A and B are shown apart, each in its own frame.
Chain A
Amino acid sequence: MPDRNMSLTQTPMPTQDPNVRNKNFNEVALGYTKEMAINEAKRCLGCKHKPCVSQCPVQIDIPAFIQKVAQDDMEGAYAILSADTSLPAVCGRVCPQETQCEQMCVRKKKGDSVGIGRLERFVADWHREHSSELPQKPKSNGHKVAVVGAGPSGLTCAGDLAKLGYDTTIFEALHMAGGVLVYGIPEFRLPKAIVQTEIDNLKALGVKIETNVVIGKTLTIDELFAQGFEAVFIGSGAGLPNFMHIPGESLKGVYSANEYLTRINLMKAFDPASHTPIQKSKAVAVVGGGNVAMDAARCAKRMGAETVYIVYRRGRAELPARLEEVEHAEEEGIIFKLLNNPIEVLGNDDGWVTGLKCIEMELGEPDASGRRRPIAKPGSEFVLPVDTMIMAIGTSPNPLLHRTTKGLDTNKWGCLITRNDDGLTSRDHVYAGGDAVTGAATVILAMGAGKKAAAAIDKDIMGK
């Protein structure tokens, strides 16, 4: 009988106290100690049929790496992880494990699943803290591939191609690589130093990153082919923020979540020494119920707002955000105004936001998405007194690339159309993945798409 931990509950994750952390930008979850990790790893039954792996978009050999942790072989565990994911320290923090690998865990039939995400994070952090060894640059195969966008899908695709020996160049529009990992997800959920380490690892593998280049403007896809790139992967991410088209959205004090988060994260407005302008808010309403809404609300609190509301038109059970993010937000004092929908942003004579007029909703019959349709309750209007409103209701794909690239087809929402699961677009040798194809989704789905495209690009080029 192996040394197994039959506890029904996951080893708890140490976290910063909610009333301390809602005033700083340090990481909320503090990570397992080695003892905690080994203890948790021993809960894994090592199932032969590996149900967890079936739900992992990048197909990590989960029981194998966990077994290494249980044996106190952290470098061995890291080697298994890094064979399938280029960004383990990121995945361990931001993947929705509860709806993926952990959902399938046999231990979940009675008690908690194994803390797969927490273990992944531990192994990646352990490696970063204990090993200064950079990955070896593989032998070049003499073929060039271009990647558009240095976000999760592009970094994953480039990493996989580099491991196969491709001369890979990522073109990034912003001044810094990382995409949503640096402009969107806040420091307290994903420290930027960790993202930078993962990017440095990719560079050690030979991936080149050209920042300040907008494909579709600075260079076109046709020019990339003319420069000798044999295939292009587009991971340009989600684009323009959606607004509700209600009166008052152009008042001063109305932000898109993209803008608010970018000012705080990428442009470092959280640092008092930063030059980045941002509104000093007292009361903030964030509209939306996804992870981005939770990030924006928790940032607003940390930026010093006394009152922060989440306004969402359905109920708590329907919130698209991860439960963990919702719970963290609640603990930090974010007020959830559920079953409420904004109908007008109110402002003063100088054009500043003074309130958000909302109407109460109730849930009716399920709609096409299978979720119960929210219906307004007549006469239930009320005003939330706020000076800032942040719209976090999704994005529409960026129009730059398909406007300047012949033969790149998009659907009616402007998402790039792919011919198959490998991400091949309507143009030969041009692949795409992540939010540019799916619309706003998760980091790990984008990584999965980048990984599949890398395999398909390899087949494409080698089969020529």
Chain B
Amino acid sequence: MFKILNKKMLNPTVAQITVDAPLIAKKAQAGQFIILRSKADSERIPLTVAGYDREGGTITLIFQIVGAGTAELNSLEKDDEIHDCVGPLGEPTHTEGLRKVCVVGGGVGCAIALPVARKLHEQGAVVHSIIGFRTKDLVILENEFKAVSEETRIMTDDGSHGEKGLVTTALESLITAGNDYDEVIAIGPLIMMKFVCILTKKYNVKTIVSMNPIMVDGTGMCGGCRLTVGGETKFACVDGPDFDGHLVDFDEAISRSKMYADFEQHARDKACKLFSKEVQ
């Protein structure tokens, strides 16, 4: 059992929890994920590690309440216990040798992008961050990004905070302003990563994306998380979750991500009734 030591809401649908998990805290690196089950009969949910405290033996997880599984997780409060938590899984984000990087985060993906930006900053790289949200109320981690970035651009779809527009607008302006990035690291919705990659391909800037496909075990057994990368079948859980964005077949990944959309809609309606106090 893994005790929740702290919990706070970052915005109305995004929660941050600190979990007692000493073995995972000792090993976790930016870009890796864990799989948890809230209760004894819950689904296995993969979540990328948003932070860790090696001495304190804790990890931080940030999740959006999108489906029945995350609604159930959100029903747990401080001092409650998560039934199962395994990790760290996947390969860490490679940051060696990078001197100037643009980190692009979209929505709750910013929670995963932040530790990468922080790691790059700590190793002395120049970090530019672009974080995008639909609207002002959903903005998370703005100050945290500013603390580790030479330049931070905040984008909202409706212009209610920061600049109006998409992350690609800001990225293109930074690239055309003469910023010569070793890499762009983009983490967010599939559709955002797809368009970041279309843009960076045009400017020939290497781009790494973090994929979060449907998976069950997360240890290289079920094969549910398969992706086509450069024409080859790759498994996000053991080969990724980071891949060269210019090689990822995004349209296929987007289609596959909707495999259980109907099932989830149904489960969400049920869960909303069960956990309605949390998702108001």
Contact = CB atoms under 8 A, between A and B. Distances in A.
B78 to A, nearest CB: 22
Where chain A touches its partner, the secondary structure class is loop
Contacts of A132: none
Contacts of A217: 27, 87-89, 219
A277 B86 contact: no
Interface in A105-143: none
Contacts of B42: 275
A183 B84 CA distance: 17
B263 A241 contact: no
Contact of B222 (A212, A241, A252, A268): A241
A263 B216 contact: yes
Where chain B touches its partner, the secondary structure class is mixed
Given A174-B217, A275-B69, A276-B43, A259 B86 contact: no
A250 interface: yes
Interface string B231-274: 00101001000000000010010011011100110010000000
Given A211-B84, A245-B233, A250-B256, A400 B220 contact: yes
A233 B173 CA distance: 56
B222 A262 contact: yes
A398 B220 CA distance: 6
Contact of B260 (A175, A251, A256, A277): A277
Contact of A173 (B37, B72, B86, B260): B86
Contacts of B110: none
A400 B216 CA distance: 16
A238 B219 CA distance: 11
B94 interface: no
B226 interface: yes
Nearest to A259: B222
B238 A240 contact: yes
A275 B256 CA distance: 19
Contacts of A278: 263
Nearest to A257: B223
B187 interface: no
Contact of B219 (A253, A268, A398): A398
A217 B42 CA distance: 23
Interface string A153-185: 000000000000000000001110000000100
A340 interface: no
B39 to A, nearest CB: 10
A434 interface: no
A214 interface: yes
A259 B238 contact: no
Of B83, B216, B223, B258, most A-chain CB atoms within 10 Å: B223
Nearest to A249: B233
B9 interface: no
Nearest to B214: A277
A251 B89 CA distance: 26
Contacts of B219: 173-174, 214, 217, 398, 400
A76 interface: no
Interface in B13-64: 23-24, 27, 37, 41-44
A369 to B, nearest CB: 25
Contacts of B223: 240-241, 243, 256, 258-259
A79 interface: no
A258 B226 CA distance: 13
A258 B219 CA distance: 12
A175 B238 contact: no
A239 B85 contact: no
B219 to A, nearest CB: 5
A217 B252 CA distance: 29
Contacts of A29: none
B191 interface: no
B88 A262 contact: no
Interface string A220-247: 0000000000000000011111010100
A250 B88 CA distance: 27
B204 interface: no
Interface in B204-224: 216-217, 219-224
Contacts of B169: none
B84 to A, nearest CB: 4
A350 B219 CA distance: 29
Contact of B86 (A175, A237, A398): A175
A351 interface: yes
B68 interface: yes
A259 B222 CA distance: 4
B240 to A, nearest CB: 13
A173 B217 contact: yes
Contact of A250 (B27, B44, B69, B252): B252
Contacts of A279: 259
Contacts of A350: 255
B179 interface: no
B261 to A, nearest CB: 10
A408 to B, nearest CB: 16
B86 A213 contact: yes
Contacts of A375: none
B186 to A, nearest CB: 22
B86 A258 contact: no
A214 B221 contact: no
Interface in A391-415: 398-400
Given A212-B84, A219-B23, A252 B258 contact: yes
Nearest to A263: B216
B228 interface: yes
Contact of B44 (A211, A218, A245, A267): A267
Nearest to B257: A252
Contacts of A241: 221-223
Contact of A256 (B27, B68, B222): B222
Contact of B216 (A219, A238, A253, A262): A262
A262 B252 contact: no
A195 B267 CA distance: 30
A10 to B, nearest CB: 37
A243 B222 CA distance: 12
Nearest to A350: B255
A258 B222 contact: yes
A183 to B, nearest CB: 8
A399 B238 contact: yes
Contact of B220 (A211, A240, A249): A240
A175 B256 contact: no
Given A174-B219, A253-B259, A259-B224, 4 more contacts: A214-B86, A258-B222, A398-B219, A400-B220
Q: Give the top 3 A-B pairs by smallest Cβ distance, nearest first.
A: A351-B255, A256-B223, A277-B260
16 contacts: A175-B44, A175-B84, A214-B86, A214-B219, A217-B219, A239-B221, A240-B221, A241-B223, A245-B233, A267-B44, A275-B68, A275-B69, A277-B264, A278-B263, A351-B255, A398-B219
